[in-house]
Structure 1
Amino acid sequence: MLPIDVSPTVTVDDLGPAREFYTTHLQGRLIFDCGWYIGLKFGERGPTMHFMQRRSPDQPAYQGGLTCNLKLENAAKVEEAHQRVTEAGLPLVMPLEDHPWGDRGFCTLDPYGVALYVYVEIEPSEEFKQYFV
């Protein structure tokens, strides 16, 4: 199997917070909305993310533990995103900083507790260069 794309679908009880959060704070554009399932696209050719409302009580809702890494074009875009997140009062679970593993980034949470790690690649420290293949 060789996928040409990978996109997460998060199962939740209410899609309203996803519609609001991702269109307002991450400039997502709805590309599909049938009432119980939505698809969001970021940019013209960018990635997609999906949310699905539970269709039966037996279908488990998201319980946490997911981190979506959002790689941006450059450091200025990361700074702008950090400023928007901070001004909106969204939670910061990791401050904006340079990391020795080779990125500059920060982490916030969506309304369901999905961690959104926003970053740009930078030169890794000598310690971490050995781990790249």
Structure 2
Amino acid sequence: MKLNAGIITEKLQETKKFYTEVMDFGVSFENEFYLLLHTPDQSAEISFLQPNHPSQKPIFQSAFNGKGVYLTIEVENVDEVYKQLKDKGVQMEIEIRDEPWGDRHFAIKDPNGIGIDIVTYTKPE
């Protein structure tokens, strides 16, 4: 079984630019109303769909309202990724920090308002 989460958004071009230029994702497939992206190592995908597209049934037409969704991206060296994104001028929603349960992470937002938690997991002490 393979999971691909999808977000319905008007901001397909801004989303593509953010994920490919800032997050180094690649484009798996794209047409005028749909964008399928993959992580740099191609282990996971996420899709974005234009709202109210005539090819789609009503269940896939309402746009995401900007709240209530987050993504977690697990990386091997969160400090390195943090520095890369800081150097690109990405605004941090949560500065890099250690949590008592073992996460070292920081958070940013994508153009749709989706919180992205970027984390390296370690065992709590």
* Structure-1-length-normalised TM-score: 0.81
Could you tell me how far apart the structure 1 residues matched to 2:104 and 2:41 are? 24
Structure 1 contact 25–84 (Cα < 8 Å) conserved: no
* Structure-2-length-normalised TM-score: 0.86
Q: Which amino acid aligns with 2:74?
A: K
Q: Which amino acid aligns with 1:100?
A: P
Structure 1 contact 17–111 (Cα < 8 Å) conserved: yes
Match of 2:119 in 1: 119
Matched, 1:20 2:17: yes
Task: Give the percent of matched residue pairs that are identical in Structure 1 and Structure 2.
Answer: 23
Deviant stretches of 4+, over 2 Å: 55-59
Match of 2:88 in 1: 88
Shift of 1:55: 2.6
Alignment match of 2:26 (pick from 11, 24, 29): 29
- Helix, strand or coil at the partner of 1:8: strand
**Bigger Rg over Cα:** 1
Match of 2:78 in 1: 78
| Unmatched tracts of structure 1, length 5 or more | 126-133
Aligned residues: 119
- Helix, strand or coil at the partner of 1:54: coil
Shift of 1:36: 0.6
Structure 2 contact 11–112 (Cα < 8 Å) conserved: no
- Helix, strand or coil at the partner of 1:123: coil
Matched, 1:69 2:66: no
Could you tell me how far apart the structure 1 residues matched to 2:64 and 2:86 are? 25
Could you tell me how far apart the structure 2 residues matched to 1:8 and 1:92 are? 23
Match of 2:62 in 1: 60
Instruction: Return closer, same or farther for 1:20/1:56 CA change in 2, 3 Å cut-off.
Output: same
Alignment match of 1:10 (pick from 7, 18, 42): 7
